Homo-oligomer: A and B are copies of this chain.
């Protein structure tokens, strides 16, 4: 055999997927294992429902239905969970009519909500197509868009979420440039978003949908509402989903994909995401999922169905909200204490979710190669997520001076200590 035997070039899909930042971030986490992590997006280990999963499994495995939970399910997932979720969603929306009006066929269970984000993207985007995203947005989704060869275009976003007027203006610009036919999706994390803890305001929710509908002319534009943090709500008004405004429309006029998950509110180790698809996306998403795995874990789905049915899930979420609220308060208090006298530093006050979004003075970059990141990880032993990851990497106006700080994993003392260390690093480089 020749010396060229070793040549191997991955296919273009794998090549594009290699741009995913989370892999690099996880590697940083491993290399800096001695740091306090304000970076990890993991949930609080203390509140994981160990006893509830033990009890529920014992009950499931004693009942006559136990065997069916260990058998293959179907591609869309457990009927029990899809049915009980339909009722639960009606509760969340404060509208009991959902119970009867939402077809079960539109509900799909996935391996976390991450799989749904990918399947929808594979169903919608050919390479070169366009996705409009909030700025900042969930950086893992930017990697998914890279993976399918789609272009992410940032839309102006403030403390009330993505601006409908800015979205409209961006679509007008793309239309003027003859690019409207390539726009397939608008991506919004609607509740307490990752990374900034921002929720789309009540007033903007129907308006974002109106803009999407306005520009769905020759081309159907969808809106992916990622509601992963919906249930991690600690104070402020309880908002209906953007999806709820889409419900009044006929089958072929549906635009919103609603994506939720039990990872944040119950257990990420079970990997159960649940989504509602517009009628037109059911077949393409199911076709893709069939090739992928013909159904996610049936056993885990049935564990979730049981706790959701029994009411134990709601009690768990309620305890979780109390616990995370305390952790959020601990982080905000620590930020007040350690950062208030550092000039030019500001941060948002989230009503839910897992993250505080902090902005440093313009001249203080936070990226992996920055002095701050090196100082923080090597000297002060604290890690954060550089904010620039949360903007399209080819956007030359992206801010370089922000940080995502998570209060998910650490306890209150750890959060305080982490913020203190971070302040020390910031003072050193400012």
Interface residues of A (CB under 8 A from B): 1-2, 4-8, 10-15, 17-18, 20, 22-23, 26, 42-43, 45-46, 48-51, 53-54, 57-58, 61-62, 66-75, 110-112, 114-115, 118, 122-126, 129, 140, 143-144, 147-148, 184, 213-214, 216-220, 252-253, 263, 267-271, 280, 283-288, 290-300, 302
Contact = CB atoms under 8 A, between A and B. Distances in A.
A352 B12 CA distance: 38
B67 A61 contact: no
Interface majority SS (helix, strand, loop, mixed), chain A: helix
Contacts of A252: 5-6
A292 B292 contact: yes
A126 B15 CA distance: 11
Contacts of A50: 61, 66-67, 70
B8 A280 contact: yes
B298 A217 contact: no
Contact of A5 (B22, B66, B253): B253
A422 to B, nearest CB: 23
A1 B268 contact: no
Given A48-B67, A126-B12, A284-B18, A294 B114 contact: yes
A214 B2 CA distance: 10
Nearest to A124: B11
Contact of A23 (B124, B129, B263, B287): B287
A10 B219 CA distance: 11
B70 A270 contact: yes
A132 to B, nearest CB: 17
B284 A297 contact: no
A63 to B, nearest CB: 10
A147 B293 CA distance: 13
A296 B26 CA distance: 16
6 contacts: A4-B218, A11-B184, A18-B284, A72-B263, A114-B294, A118-B293
A252 B269 CA distance: 34
B280 A17 contact: no
Nearest to A291: B147
Given A14-B284, A53-B57, A54-B61, 15 more contacts: A7-B220, A13-B122, A14-B287, A17-B284, A17-B287, A20-B287, A22-B294, A26-B74, A48-B67, A54-B58, A72-B268, A73-B269, A270-B297, A271-B297, A271-B298
